[in-house]
Amino acid sequence: MKVTAYFEDHKNIIEEELKKAKKEVVAAVAWINFELYNDVFIALLEREIQLKIICTDNPSNRRYMDCIKNLQKKGAVIKLLQMPSNNNHMHHKFAIIDGVTILNGSFNWSLNAAKSFENLTVIENCNSEAKKFLREFDAILKIEKETIKKLQKFSRCKNCIDGELLNVLVFSEQSTEYSETYGDVICVCNNCLEFDKIEECVQDSQIYTLINELSGASDDFEYDHIEEYLYQHLASHSDLDIHAIGKVKSTVDWQDNDDVETRILWKNKFVGDRLPDSLDHDFGVYYDN
Ligand SMILES: [Zn+2]
């Protein structure tokens, strides 16, 4: 891994890095002057490099719609992301080249950015971190304004003062002999844990095996793998507005007392610390053979 920080000459550095691409350029950059970078983008497409770009849907990016449409016609995937409110932004400024080089910093790909104090760091040969950026990119590429709105909105609990309601897909601890695991989607208060079941018997055929197979692996590996898988899993239940996915886990302590909890394995965007990593309940999610 090689890390280099730059505080000047950002446009040239970005162009030089983009020119090195052999297969794919993925960029999430809030503001892009598509005219300024048009030649570089066209050159990439002519060399049959996959070009995927997300920028913010705002008037300054929309000025370049002719340019954008032309790039799209030549095969580029370009998304102008709409946010639910003018105060929310897709504020990233990163690009991933061939899945291994990361360009990241404060620098927008615009003329104006060249007049400000900005930074850009180029990280080469960093597969694992690049993967995280690519996952973030995919998540933003798939997400729509309405989904962002739903995920940002939390309903208040009627049972307590400070609680917020979240939808959590909780998988049972047990699985069938064919490694099928079943779960329920519960709407739970993050404060008093009052809950309602909103969908039952959601089936999954990989989660049990995945968690058990990887339980011997290192923490990083385990988490990375599960998170990636759960993200795909969520995509197949996208109509449910799931804030998090968890699994029931019971343990017996030294006094032979059963202790049961729901371990949160994955959280959707905008959930953060609104949901702790473990909930002191199994929410009646129990499916056996
Ligand atoms: Zn509550």
State which amino acid sits at residue 23: K
Helix (H, G, I), strand (E, B) or coil at 92: coil
How many angstroms does the Cα of residue 156 sit away from the middle of ligand 1?
8
**Other C-beta atoms within 10 Å of 52: how many?**
19
Compute the distance from residue 166 Cα to the ligand 1 centre, in Å. Answer: 11
Instruction: Give residue 280 CA to ligand 1 midpoint distance, Å.
Output: 14
Q: Residue 114 has what pLDDT?
A: 77
Stated pTM of the model: 0.78
Sign of the four-CA dihedral 8, 14, 16, 17: positive
Q: CA-to-CA distance for 22 and 35, rounded, in angstroms?
A: 23
Q: Residue 260: how many CB atoms within 10 A of its CB?
A: 14
CA 195 / ligand 1 centre spacing (Å): 9
- Which residue type sits at 270? F
As given in the structure block, the two tokens for residue 60 are 């300054």
Alpha-carbon distance of 98 to 126, in angstroms, equals: 11
> What pairs with residue 32 in β-bridges?
109
CA–centroid distance, residue 197 to ligand 1 (Å): 15
Q: How far is the CA of 5 from the centre of ligand 1 (A)?
A: 47
Interaxial angle between packed helices 127-142 and 219-235, expressed in degrees from 0 to 180 and rounded to the nearest 10: 20
**DSSP reduced 3-state for 206:** coil
Q: Could you name the CATH architecture of 2-149?
A: 2-Layer Sandwich (3.30)
The alpha carbon of 266 and the centre of ligand 1 are apart by a number of angstroms equal to 22
Distance 284 CA to ligand 1 centre (A): 18
Ligand 1 centroid, distance to 204 Cα (angstroms): 29
Position 21 scores a pLDDT of 98
Q: Tell me the per-residue pLDDT of 237-273, one tens digit each, with 9 for 90 and over.
A: 656 678 898 999 988 777 777 789 999 988 888 888 9
Break the chain into its structural domains and give their ranges: 2-149, 154-279
Cβ 191 vs Cβ 226: under 8 Å: no
d(CA 241, CA 172): 20
Q: Pseudo-torsion of CA 55, 60, 64, 68, nearest 10°? A: 10
Closest CA relative to residue 120, chosen from 34, 27, 49, 39? 27
Ligand 1 centroid distance, CA of 6 (Å):
49
- Distance of CA 208 from the midpoint of ligand 1 (Å): 30
190 alpha carbon – ligand 1 mean position (Å)? 7
Which residue is it, tokens 């309940």? 281
- Residue 105: strand pairing partners: 120
Q: Is the dihedral of CA 275, 269, 241, 233 positive or negative?
A: negative
Q: What is the pLDDT of residue 236?
A: 62
* pLDDT for the residue numbered 266: 85
Residues lining ion ligand 1 (Cβ < 5 A) are 157, 159-160, 163, 189, 191-192
Q: What is the pLDDT of residue 204?
A: 82
CA of 154 to the centre of ligand 1 (A): 12
Cβ-contact 61, 80 below 8 angstroms: yes
- In order along its 289 residues, the chain shows pLDDT tens digits of 999 999 999 999 999 999 999 999 999 999 999 999 999 999 999 999 999 999 999 999 999 999 999 999 999 999 999 988 888 888 999 999 999 999 999 999 988 877 889 999 999 999 889 998 998 898 889 888 888 888 888 889 999 999 999 999 999 998 888 878 899 999 999 999 999 999 898 888 877 777 776 665 555 555 566 666 776 666 666 566 788 989 999 887 777 777 899 999 888 888 889 999 999 999 999 988 6
Q: Strand ranges (DSSP E) for the chain?
A: 2-6, 24-29, 50-56, 77-81, 93-97, 101-105, 120-124, 155-156, 164-171, 181-189, 195-204, 244-252, 258-267, 278-279
